[in-house]
Amino acid sequence: MTTKLTISLVQMDCRLGDPEANFAAAAQSIAEAARRGSDLVLLPELWSTAYALDAAPALASALAIRPSDGGWFGRMAALAATHGLFVGGSLLEARHARYYNCFALYGPDGALHGAYRKVHLFRLMDEEKFLAPGEETVMVDMPWGKTGMAICYDLRFPELLRGYALAGARLMLLPAEWPHPRREHWRTLLRARAIENQCYVAACNRVGVTGNTAFFGASAIIDPWGEALVEAGEVETLLTVTVDLARVDDARRRIPVFEDRRADLY
């Protein structure tokens, strides 16, 4: 199992209800990430549509297993296959006559490696009015080790990421549309989840404005000691950094938090 992983975060301005424009922008960034030698590219939450939730019947598509399945997910899979790397991010999914905020992770061959449907819906953005909540957590076995999948508001629920860590996850991936004025919440919670779980947290947030809501970016990759290896400002950018997953094992040896837990008491 490899311990080195080069990750790129596509911090982009997601145009409301305009998947063609958003796909074109994402494709350009993914091509640049491939040129940089990235193994994994993470896009923001609902990166193809932004929060056009009321248009879900027109904009959502079925989850694709491979590029040939078509739809928006199939096109995302094709981006991964075209550039020979892993690509993850969330899209609107149509499933069993319901709509979901679905984080899909595709591999270099275009095959689906994991699909996580957001379990904690964010009332402040009216998600519960248009979307159904996911009913399961998703941790995937990747070439670099076990990886937990979460979306935006999930960051406020430490139980979710702790569950992944207890099951062996060394990396957490989190696409987001986290707005002003809660930038310091975002920054603090990313570090807290990394420190308490002694793992890497890679989080990609959007920038730009939709209606009266402004998004601040601050996409980041936090290491198991709570240090930001890379962190963006409030403009469109592509962040790239190589992480060493062996540092997770080192942190857990040095401070044996999981061994010292009193699960019998709480």
Q: Is 14 a catalytic residue?
A: no
Residue 172: its pLDDT value, please?
98
Q: pLDDT for 92-123, tens place per residue?
A: 999 999 999 999 999 999 999 999 999 999 99
Half-sphere exposure of 177 (CA within 13 A, CB side): 28
In a domain, 264, yes or no: no
In a domain, 152, yes or no: yes
Number of domains present in the structure of the chain:
1
Query: Which of 13, 71, 38, 8 has its CA nearest to residue 208?
Result: 13
Cα separation, 71 vs 246, in Å, equals: 38
Q: Is 129 a catalytic residue?
A: no
Identity of residue 108: P
In a domain, 157, yes or no: yes
In a domain, 51, yes or no: yes
Q: Which listed residue (14, 102, 152, 199) is catalytic?
A: 152
CATH of the domain at 17: 3.60.110.10
Write the CB contacts of 125 (distance below 8 Å, at least 6 apart in sequence).
51, 53, 177, 213
Reported residue count of the chain is: 266
Half-sphere exposure of 18 (CA within 13 A, CB side): 10
Name residues of the chain where pLDDT drops below 70.
Answer: none
Residue 63: its pLDDT value, please?
98
Query: Which of 150, 174, 168, 175 has its CA nearest to residue 160?
Result: 150
Residue 148: its pLDDT value, please?
98
Residue 2: its pLDDT value, please?
83
Q: In degrees rounded to 5, what are phi and psi of residue 174?
A: -145, 100
In a domain, 132, yes or no: yes
Q: Which listed residue (45, 93, 127, 177) is catalytic?
A: 45
**Structural domain span for residue 162:** 4-257
In a domain, 35, yes or no: yes
In a domain, 263, yes or no: no
pTM over 0.85: yes
Give the residue carrying structure tokens 């056009």: 52
Q: Which listed residue (118, 127, 199, 204) is catalytic?
A: 118
